[in-house]
Amino acid sequence: MSARYVESSRLPTAWGDFDMHGFEDVDTNKEHVVLTMGEVGNGEPVLARVHSECLTGDALFSMRCDCGNQLQAALQAIAEEGRGALFYLRQEGRGIGLLNKIKAYKLQDAGADTVEANEQLGFGADMRDYSILKPMFEHLNIQSVRLMTNNPRKVNAIEEQGIDVVERIPLHTDSNPHNEKYLRTKAGKLGHMFEGRE
């Protein structure tokens, strides 16, 4: 994959003013954005979150996942530090797309967990591709990050793009009756680490 930088603009949010940088994947025509606050290209490790799109959680406030809460927690952490970057990748449903995600939800309603549902639809457990990140990091002149994630596999995937992950920072969000099985599956089958959670 390769990304083409398009344009930047100011984006005021509830957490403060960010700069929004738009990129286009020239192979898939998907559009991705990075929100930055402060000077991120000065050589110092940057507090960062690589967040895959979750329309249901990020915009529709679904309680089936923890995505929206993680997105908001990351933006708040960056604002509190006054410097950081949030990479928002258009990889809905761990890369299977929105409509297939709805099909997966239907299978989950019938008892499957998130991994089983993806596999029943003929997909892998996680179809996301992080190779799009390399040109985005290069454009912003970011060489190293303090990465906000509970997913050690994401750390490895980002390091494979030549980005130095100097620290993994857990993202703490609350569970609810609708996402408890989802979180257990993320921990048990996908290796996510939820410090402080039983």
In angstroms, the CA 197 to CA 174 distance is 9
Establish whether 114 is an annotated binding residue.
yes
Q: Is 67 annotated as a binding residue?
A: yes
Smallest CA-to-CA distance from 11 within 122, 85, 77 is with 85
Q: What is the pLDDT of residues 124-140, one digit of tens each?
A: 888 888 989 999 999 99
Above 70 in pLDDT, residue 95?
yes
134 labelled ligand-binding: no
Strands 46-52 and 16-25: unpaired
Do β-strands 164-169 and 144-148 pair in parallel, antiparallel, or remain unpaired? parallel
Supply the residues annotated as catalytic.
126, 128
Domain ranges of the chain: 3-91+128-190
Whole-prediction pTM: 0.88
Give the CATH superfamily of 3-91+128-190: GTP cyclohydrolase II (3.40.50.10990)
